[in-house]
Homo-oligomer: A and B are copies of this chain.
Amino acid sequence: MTTEPYTPPPAIPPYIADVPGLLRWETTSREDAVVHAQQLTKESFTYDEVYGRFCTVEEYIDAPPRAVFDYLSDIRNLNEYTYSTRDFRPVEGRPGLHVGRDTLVDDRTPIYMQFHTDPAALTVDMHCAWDQGDELWMIYLYRIIDAQLVLGRPGSVVLWTNCRHPYYDKNPHPELATSPDRPWVGDFWNLFYAGHWVELQNLKKILEFHHGGGTPRESGTA
């Protein structure tokens, strides 16, 4: 392969000359950079260091990316792979908005939910909240990747991230709680990694049972 005529850029682009604190090859030697990286690479990380601000879980699933997308995009399937969210139904007069229940706390706490999906990007974003459907601030961000590209084998990689919205730490509408002593969803943040990992394993087991080997079978969800 040959390349087109080319003038290299200056070593320090003017655009970033004024930005303090950058770590770049031109100003930090390879040896110093490796030492710096080794200092950041600890033997072990605390829960808060890894999952304090963002909670990401990742998994390989032996099912075609499109099948994973279709399954995640159907709100009825929350009944199957989540531990405790159940029975979502449309809210009249609010297109796209659904309401179900979260059995993690009680049967009277409504959870409002709206899906935003992008079939070209294979993203499925689940916007939800307890108690009210006007501000859906709990957002489950899913992205599906073709595993052939990133792992060299058929199937899918599922990336799932939650970001720690301030409402996790402080319920913005305590007056809507079913009782004053009901736990708040943010009380469970320190269990999000475990809970989401378990649900991602549920998802993997269900999809691999029905689509294992990368070959789509007739779906029973329709």
Contacts and interface: CB of A to CB of B under 8 A. Distances in A.
A176 interface: no
Contacts of A97: 1
A211 B147 CA distance: 35
Contacts of A1: 91-94, 97, 99, 133
A24 B103 CA distance: 10
B15 A221 contact: yes
A93 B82 CA distance: 49
Nearest to A41: B194
A137 interface: yes
A205 interface: yes
A2 B194 contact: no
Contacts of A103: 25, 30
The quantity of this chain's copies bound in the complex is 2
Main secondary structure of the interface of A (DSSP, over half): mixed
A91 B2 CA distance: 6
B137 A152 contact: yes
B56 A58 contact: yes
B25 A190 contact: no
A91 B6 CA distance: 11
Contact of A198 (B36, B120, B127, B221): B36
5 contacts: A1-B92, A30-B104, A39-B194, A123-B143, A139-B145
Contact of A141 (B84, B145, B165, B202): B145
Contacts of A198: 23, 33, 36-37, 40
A71 to B, nearest CB: 10
A43 interface: yes
A218 B83 CA distance: 48
Given A4-B90, A41-B193, A120-B121, A166 B139 contact: no
